[in-house]
Amino acid sequence: MLERIFSKRYLGHSKIFEQQVRQRLVGILHRYYLTGTELEEEDLLAEVGLVRATNEVNLYGPIKLELRGELLDLAPFRYGVSLGSETLNEAQVIGVGCRRVLSVENKATFRELIRQGMDGGTLLICLGGFAGPIKRKFLNRLGAFSGDLVEYYHWGDLDYGGLQIFRHLQKNCWPRLQPLRMDEETYVAFVKFGEVFSERQGQKLRGLLEKGDFSCFHGVLKAMVEYGRTLEQEAVDVAGI
């Protein structure tokens, strides 16, 4: 439900939730419901069904969906298509004509990949951050339909949040997910475009070196600690993807 609709319907005014309740609820969720997570405020609230705006997923490539008995073939949309929450919630995957699924974190990279030209064997997905419940439902339907016939990759920011997003997808949607261009070699090649991180951010990154769940990133994490910089996805060349 949209936050303003919830606020008007249950609190009596469309702005009460934002002005008086939102921060309290976020604190409660951090402390009691999603303890130990690093989700942003909007992602936390999405976990309990409250969103500021309609969730969307951007798709490009050979996928067919069924929505209330109607066929949706997305392949002809040469610049991609955006599906909102209601469509994602109801759409059933009935056809996938790709050999790999590539999830990217940021919309700018999604658009750049389309502009450079993607091969017909790739289904490109832009989640725009953490995958909330509705997005996860759709991604799990995709995974259940495709099975072992395709490979799954994710390319995101080389920072604490980006690594958390990868692990979140791997844990909740696609167990066989592999990182793409999130390695030490890529990081070193483009680190001159990186952003200096704070000591607090450095502590969080060093903490991931102690977690087995992030073992595939230990090499790049050590490089990040050495250089003292994070690297946004937009700074990395899309050529060859």
53, 68, 85 — which closes off a domain? 53
30 — pLDDT class (breaks 50, 70, 90): confident
Asked if 41 and 99 sit in the same domain, the reply is: no
Asked if 4 and 87 sit in the same domain, the reply is: no
**Residue 99: which residues within 8 A CB-CB, separation 6 or more?**
121, 122, 149, 150, 151
Asked if 201 and 137 sit in the same domain, the reply is: yes
The tokens for 144 are 């259940």
Residue pLDDT, tens place only, 85-144:
889 999 999 999 999 999 999 999 999 999 998 888 999 999 988 898 889 999 999 999
Give the position of tokens 């490089």: 223
Whether residue 240 is contained in a domain is answered as: no
Asked if 87 and 168 sit in the same domain, the reply is: yes
Asked if 23 and 85 sit in the same domain, the reply is: no
Whether residue 216 is contained in a domain is answered as: yes
Answer whether residue 35 shows pLDDT above 80: no
Per-residue model confidence (pLDDT) at position 80: 95
Asked if 169 and 215 sit in the same domain, the reply is: yes
Answer whether residue 1 shows pLDDT above 80: yes
The tokens for 47 are 């976990």
Residue pLDDT, tens place only, 200-217:
999 999 999 998 889 999
Asked if 62 and 44 sit in the same domain, the reply is: no
Q: What is the mean pLDDT of residues 21-37?
A: 82
Residue pLDDT, tens place only, 40-85:
787 788 888 887 766 789 999 999 999 999 999 999 999 999 998 8
CATH, residue 212: 3.40.1360.10
For the chain, how many structural domains are there in total? Answer: 2
Q: What is the pTM of this model?
A: 0.84
Whether residue 27 is contained in a domain is answered as: yes
Whether residue 241 is contained in a domain is answered as: no
Asked if 166 and 226 sit in the same domain, the reply is: yes
Cβ–Cβ < 8 Å for 181, 240: no
Asked if 42 and 70 sit in the same domain, the reply is: no
Asked if 124 and 156 sit in the same domain, the reply is: yes
**Residue 59: which residues within 8 A CB-CB, separation 6 or more?**
74, 80, 81, 82, 83, 123, 124, 125, 126
Asked if 10 and 125 sit in the same domain, the reply is: no
Whether residue 95 is contained in a domain is answered as: yes
Task: Provide the domain limits for residue 191.
Answer: 54-235
Asked if 128 and 182 sit in the same domain, the reply is: yes
Whether residue 144 is contained in a domain is answered as: yes
Whether residue 141 is contained in a domain is answered as: yes
Whether residue 226 is contained in a domain is answered as: yes
Per-residue model confidence (pLDDT) at position 223: 97
